[in-house]
Amino acid sequence: MIYQTLTGGLGADPVEGLSHFTGKAALNTLMITLLISPIARRFKLGQLVKVRRLIGLYSFFGQPYTCWYTWLWISDSTRHCWRVK
Q: Is residue 38 part of a domain?
A: yes
Per-residue pLDDT in tens (0 to 9) along the chain, 85 residues? 778 777 888 788 777 787 777 778 778 888 888 899 899 999 998 888 888 888 888 777 766 766 777 777 777 776 655 555 5
Q: For residues 28 and 7, what is the distance between their CA atoms, to the nearest angstrom?
A: 26
Q: Domain residues for 39?
A: 13-76
In a domain, 84, yes or no: no
Burial class (CB in 10 A: 0-12, 13-18, 19+), 12: exposed
- Please give the DSSP secondary-structure letter assigned to residue 35: T
Domain count, the chain: 1
